[in-house]
Amino acid sequence: MNLALVAIVLAIGGGAVLAVSTRNDAASAIGVAIALVGSALLSDPLPSAAVLGVRVVAALLVATMIRSAMRTGPRQPSPVGWPSEALLATAGAVAGLGLWVGIASLAASGGGLVGGPGSVEPGSTGAVSTGGVAVTSMALITAAGASLLALGAAPLVHGRPGPRRAIGLVLVTQAVLLLRIGVAGPAVELEEIAREALLVVAGATGAVLAIAASSSSGREDAEPAGT
Amino acid sequence: MTLLILAAVALGAGIATILLGPERRRGALTVGLIGSIVVLALALAMPDTDSLIVGGVGMVSTPVVRAMAVAWSASLAVLGLLEIAVGGRPTVVGPSLIGLAVAGLALATRDPASSMAALAAGGVAGVVVPGLAGWLDGPDIPSRLPTTNRGTLAILGSGLLGLSVIAWGASAAGPLGGAGGPVSIDSGAQLSLGLALLVIVAAVAIRTGLIPLHVWAARFMEGVSPLAIPAAFAWGSAAFVLVALDWSQVALGPAAAGDVERWLIILVAMVSVVLGGLAAMVHDDIEHVLGYSILQDAGVAVLAFASLDPSVVAAARNWLVASATVKTALAAWASVVRTTYGGHRLDDLGGWARHSPALGVAFAGILVAAIGLPNMALFRARTDLVVSAMPGFGQVVALLIAVMPAIYLGRIAIAGLAQVSPAVDAGASGRPRWTGGRAAGWSEGPLTQAIRAIPGELRANRAPLMALGVLVLAVMALLTATGGAGG
């Protein structure tokens, strides 16, 4: 099961890199969808069907809203290119793993649960053995969250108003939501609803502001469509 | 259960109002007004203590939740009426209803992560909707869109920061995680507790727009209807601070506030209290006075983090609910004055109180509620907050802080009693009048004629009716400042 989780983490990273680096609007929206749906599935064991449904619907809704914002907005590919973004995502993931190992060590030295920094998810099975350290699903979730944070922070903070900033906002929001689970354990059902509402609001807000930015007179700063 | 129904109604009505707003203003305002009245009825019917389990989390309706729901929904119903009278794009009731729904749920929920996520999600509308409306209404001021962008980032960023520190608290390395018991307070644990406290205070500072993070908030308040400010800042910030305080008290405890942390928090809070108060004193436009006074109130509330003592947290609850109600009344006054007289600078508003006595009486009530009398809950709460943070000389500081609203609101009051300026004289009279919409006396003419006269008379008396709305809010402010929030 954890090998599947590794594949999902790779898909999340790949989707996010695609989302922030491509010039193609549709590919960017697909990248967002892959990253968000992958994040929804990143759990061992999978949550109940209702919670999973809420997560997937929210992810697809956000991807749709981002896509709609791109129809009117300028194209804003990554200024550093996809290889740099991929390296950044990898570095983020490694940092996330390091964070998790650090917290796990603190927990172990303080008498906490060694299997994970927070309350270990019930039924967690078969960790991936990496020598002396067992990488649990929580570690992978933390890695995915840190990876998304590394990718989304720059477009959010330094990006010009437009779809790229909206993507950054969504990725950073999803990153914090993943880190929350990776560090503190699974969320209860009410929190799941609140989390997905937050993700949808972030996507909707980013999309609305991107559309507004594209229609404002100050858009000459942005790269025109078709370039 | 009543709280859940209230939240569902508020959320539905709020979203419907926002979606209808751009195309059908009248429909949106009607939905919003009906929704806010229903929510007020539900808030009044809500029991003081009620509990149920939703989605695996206990939800407890406390007196504070009820007090906040009643005060916010009652003021919202009046703001809804004022929004109809003031005109313009509907930007007040919809976001406020959403904010009220999530605030009620967040304060009742026993899971801080759910509360923080809900507050972040529900607070965005209070900035985005009025911010975009202000940007659309001011095409020659393009900076309003970046301001809305920054405001959105502040609301979401503070929520995400809060969520992160709450996650740390629940992790095995945090005070609530691991073996489930309290961690030993060695130097490392003390440091991490202190850092967590500073991070949650940073989230509060971002959310409330404390100095020096206030620039977006100040710009935002310039470009939106004053009626939209309470939902974005006074009430939304109050709910955020209450959730952050509750978490800090439970997860970190008073031990987290060591000497360094305490003085850092006091510094952050007092910078906003002093500079916010001074800025409110020197600014001549009433929107800035309103904005900086809200910022000053938030600074006072942040002092509760300096001790995390249970009695101080109770004082903070009273302070936040009472000051939010007072600032809602002040926002309504600012909006009505601007609509009636066209100006928003004190130079243009000479004699406003003489021209509209009802507005003058309402403002006097707001003034008393904002300063407070020694036996009022608001006054005691402010004193408790300051004294707990600065034992020894806190009483003096609390008195100095109480003097500040007396000065900046006193300036406005003095302007109101001055000679009537040409701009005010040209504005609609604040005194009620009968336009003779009905030829015969009340006892002689047909009933239909009387009914037909009502819209005309309402239009003719728009200014005094708006002043009456402000008067109602001022009375609510006085009541809340006197009784507090049951904290």
pLDDT digits (tens, 9 = 90+) for B427-443: 777 677 766 655 555 55
Which residue among B120, B149, B164 sits closest to A198, beta carbon to beta carbon? B120
**Residue B157: strand, helix, or coil:** helix
Residue A174 has pLDDT above 90, yes or no: yes
CB A202 within 8 A of CB B156: yes
Closest CB to B142 among A110, A189, A216: A216
Residue B437 is predicted with a pLDDT of 58
Output the pTM of the full model: 0.88
Rounded mean pLDDT, B97-117: 90
**pLDDT over 70 at A117, yes or no:** no
Buried b (16+ CB within 10 A) or exposed e, B115-147: bbbbbbbbbbbbbbbbbbbbbeeeeeeeebbbb
Q: Which of A38, A34, A40, A2 is nearest to A18 (CA)?
A: A34
Judged by CB atoms within 8 Å, which residues 55-84 of B form the interface with A? Answer: 55-57
Q: For residue A130, give the 3-state DSSP assignment.
A: strand
Is B149 part of the contact surface with chain A (CB cutoff 8 Å)?
Answer: yes
User: How many CA atoms lie within 13 Å of B387's alpha carbon, on the beta-carbon side?
Assistant: 12
Q: What is the ipTM of this complex?
A: 0.85
Please name the residues in contact with A63: beta carbons below 8 A apart, sequence gap of 6 or more.
A29, A30, A32, A33, A36, A203
Specify the pLDDT at position B407. 92
**Contact between residue B60 and residue B477 where contact means Cβ atoms under 8 Å apart:** no
Q: What is the pLDDT of residue A124?
A: 43
Q: Which residues 163-182 of B have a C-beta within 8 angstroms of A?
A: 163-164, 166-174, 177-179
Residue A47 vs residue A227, higher pLDDT: A47
Q: What CA–CA distance (Å, rounded) separates B171 from B178?
A: 7
Distance CA B243, CA B398 (A): 24
Question: Residue B179: what pLDDT?
Answer: 46
**Tens digits of per-residue pLDDT, B355-389?**
888 889 999 999 999 998 888 899 999 999 999 88
Q: How many angstroms separate the Cα of B345 from the Cα of each of A41, B57, B251, B285, B424?
A: 56, 50, 46, 4, 11
CB pairs under 8 A between A and B: 147
| B227 pLDDT tier (thresholds 50, 70, 90) | confident
d(C-alpha B12, C-alpha B9), whole Å: 5
**More confident call, B156 vs B393:** B156
| Average pLDDT, integer, range B197-201 | 92
B452 pLDDT exceeds 80? no
| Percent of chain A residues past pLDDT 90, beyond the cut | 37
Q: Where do the domains of chain A lie? A: 2-219
Q: CB–CB of B298/B209 below 8 Å?
A: yes
A198 pLDDT band, cuts 50/70/90, is very high
Structure confidence at residue A219 as a pLDDT band (50, 70, 90): very low
Residue B177 confidence class, pLDDT cut points 50, 70, 90? low
CA distances from A152 to A84, A218, A219 (A): 13, 24, 22
Least confident of A125-129, B263-267, B480-484: A125-129
**pLDDT confidence of residue A126:** 43
Q: What is the DSSP letter of A80?
A: S
The three state secondary structure string of B295-309 is HHHHHHHHHHHHCCC
Higher pLDDT, B139 or A168: A168
Whole-angstrom distance, CA of residue A160 vs CA of residue A210: 10
CA B125/CA B99 separation, integer angstroms: 8
Q: Name the residue among B247, B360, B386, B405 with its Cα closest to residue B307.
A: B386
Phi, then psi, of A193 in degrees rounded to 5: -65, -45
